C-alpha cells in the first residue's frame, strides 16, 4: 500500500507494516531550487563569467549553464542577456530575480546562524572587510583580544577600498565592514561611528617644512606630496579642502597603504600626508611627524553591517571590542526602525 504527503510519496516498510518511509526519487529538474539561486548569485558576483562562477562553486561550467537554462525554462523568461554562449548582461526581470535570490539566500544564512547561535554559541566564522589603514593600525588590539576570547571562531579579514568594503558587506561576503565615510552612504547597511581621526605630515629629517611653522595648506602644496589614493580614507575630503583654499597639491604618488607612503617619503620623493595613527615614532625613526589636524576636517571611521542580518553573540562582542560604547543594547537600539 502506498501513501502520499505534500512533499514525498510514502510506502509501507517491508519489515514493519506500521512504519512508512519515503520513496527516494530524483528531484524534478523543472522545480526551482537553492542550487540554481546560488548559481545566479555567483555568476553576478563573478562579472557574468560562467567559468569563474563554476570555479568558485567547485563545479563544471556545463552544470552551471544547464541549471540556469532549466530555471529560465521554468520561469519562461531570460535572466541573462547572451551573445552566443557568453553572458553579456542581466535582463529587466533578471534584475528582480537576482535581488530576490540574494534575499532568499541571505535569509537562509540567517536561519543557519540562528541554529548555530543556540547550539554552538562560541563556534563559527566572522569575516571583516576593511581598508589597509584600519586593518594595520586600528584592528589589531581588538582582533587579538577576540581570538583569545573565541579561539573556535575562524576570523577572516578582507582588504579593499571603502566602496569595495561596502559591496562585500552588502553582498554577504563579509559580516562587518570598517571604513571611513563612504561606507555610511550605503542605505542597505546600518553604519555606526567607531572613532574620529585626523591627519599628519611626515617628512625626512632635515626637511625645510619641519622648521617652517606654522604648518599651512599653502606650505604643504609647495612640496611634492605622497598620500592615499583618493578612493581611500577620506581622500575626497582632503582634495576638497585644498580646492576650497584655491590650491592644487603636487601629488606625485598615491597608494592604498600607509607603509608604502612612508617608504617613498624615506626615499626622498616628497612629503607624506597620512592618518595620524599610521605614524609610529618607534618604527618610523627616520621620519618626523607634523600634526595637520588643524588643517583638515576630522574623518569618522564607521562600522557597518546589513540591516537584515542576524548577528551572532560573538559579533556583538567584537563590535564592542572595537568601540566600547557600542554594546549589544546600543546596536539593537540602532537596528530598531524609527
Residues 96-106 have pLDDT tens digits of 998 888 888 77
**What nine digits make up the cell of 270?**
616628497
pLDDT band at 327 (very low <50, low <70, confident <90, very high): very high
Compute the average pLDDT of residues 176-190: 85
pLDDT(4) > 60 = no
Compute the average pLDDT of residues 82-103: 88
Compute the average pLDDT of residues 224-228: 94
Q: Which of 22-26, 81-85, 124-128, 185-189 has the lowest mean pLDDT?
A: 22-26
Compute the average pLDDT of residues 303-310: 88
**Top CATH class, 24-119:** mainly alpha
In the chain, ranges of CATH 1.10.10.10 domains: 24-119
pLDDT(180) > 90 = no
Report the mean per-residue pLDDT for the chain. Answer: 85
State phi, psi for 320 to the nearest 5 degrees. -70, -30
Q: How far is CA 20 from CA 6, 9, 11, 13, 174, in A?
A: 15, 10, 5, 5, 44
Number of H helices and number of E strands within the chain? 12, 15
Give me the pLDDT at residue 222, please: 96
At 294 the three-state DSSP class reads coil
Percent of the chain with pLDDT over 90: 52
pLDDT band at 281 (very low <50, low <70, confident <90, very high): very high
Give the closest residue to 174 by CA, choosing from 160, 157, 161, 189: 157
At 13 the three-state DSSP class reads coil
Percent of the chain with pLDDT over 70: 87
Give me the pLDDT at residue 119, please: 73
Give me the pLDDT at residue 24, please: 37
Burial (0-12, 13-18, 19+ Cβ within 10 Å), 197: buried
pLDDT(230) > 80 = no
DSSP codes, 191-233: EEEEEEE-EEEEEETT-GGGGSPSP-HHHHHTSEEEEE-TTST
CATH architecture of structural domain 199-297: 3-Layer(aba) Sandwich (3.40)
Summarised one tens digit per residue, pLDDT across range 9-45 is 444 444 444 444 443 334 455 566 888 888 888 899 8
Summarised one tens digit per residue, pLDDT across range 139-171 is 999 999 999 999 999 999 999 888 889 989 988
In the chain, ranges of CATH 3.40.190.10 domains: 120-196+300-335, 199-297
Domain 120-196+300-335 part of CATH 3.30.413.10: no
pLDDT band at 259 (very low <50, low <70, confident <90, very high): very high
Amino acid at each position: 500500500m502506498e501513501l502520499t504527503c505534500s512533499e514525498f510519496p510514502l510506502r509501507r516498510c517491508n519489515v514493519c507494516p506500521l512504519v512508512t518511509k519515503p520513496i527516494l526519487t530524483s528531484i524534478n529538474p523543472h522545480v526551482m531550487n537553492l542550487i540554481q539561486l546560488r548559481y545566479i548569485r555567483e555568476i553576478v558576483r563573478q562579472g557574468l563569467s560562467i567559468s569563474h562562477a563554476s570555479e568558485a562553486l567547485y563545479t563544471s561550467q556545463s552544470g552551471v549553464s544547464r541549471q540556469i537554462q532549466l530555471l529560465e525554462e521554468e520561469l519562461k523568461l531570460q535572466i541573462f542577456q547572451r551573445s552566443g554562449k557568453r553572458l553579456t548582461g542581466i535582463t529587466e526581470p533578471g534584475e528582480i530575480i537576482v535581488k530576490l535570490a540574494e534575499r532568499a539566500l541571505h535569509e537562509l544564512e540567517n536561519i543557519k546562524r540562528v541554529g548555530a547561535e543556540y547550539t554552538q554559541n562560541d563556534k563559527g566564522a566572522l569575516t571583516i572587510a576593511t581598508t589597509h589603514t584600519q586593518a594595520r593600525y586600528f584592528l589589531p588590539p581588538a582582533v587579538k583580544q577576540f581570538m583569545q576570547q573565541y579561539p573556535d571562531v575562524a576570523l577572516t579579514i578582507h582588504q579593499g577600498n571603502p566602496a569595495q568594503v561596502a559591496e562585500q558587506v552588502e553582498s554577504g561576503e563579509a559580516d562587518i565592514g570598517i571604513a571611513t565615510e563612504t561606507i555610511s552612504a550605503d542605505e542597505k547597511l546600518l553604519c555606526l561611528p567607531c572613532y574620529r581621526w585626523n591627519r599628519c605630515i611626515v617628512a625626512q629629517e632635515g626637511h625645510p617644512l619641519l622648521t617652517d611653522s606654522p604648518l599651512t595648506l599653502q606650505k604643504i602644496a609647495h612640496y611634492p606630496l605622497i598620500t592615499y589614493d583618493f578612493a581611500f580614507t577620506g581622500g575626497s575630503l582632503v582634495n576638497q579642502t585644498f580646492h576650497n583654499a584655491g590650491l592644487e597639491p603636487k601629488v606625485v604618488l598615491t597608494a592604498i597603504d600607509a607603509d608604502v607612503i612612508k617608504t617613498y617619503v624615506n626615499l626622498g620623493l616628497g612629503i607624506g600626508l597620512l592618518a595620524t595613527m599610521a605614524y609610529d615614532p618607534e618604527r618610523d625613526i627616520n621620519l618626523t611627524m607634523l600634526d595637520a589636524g588643524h588643517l583638515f576636517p576630522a574623518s569618522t571611521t564607521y562600522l557597518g553591517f546589513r540591516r537584515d542580518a542576524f548577528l551572532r553573540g560573538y559579533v556583538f562582542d567584537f563590535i564592542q571590542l572595537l568601540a566600547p560604547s557600542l554594546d549589544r543594547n546600543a546596536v539593537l537600539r540602532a537596528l530598531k526602525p524609527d
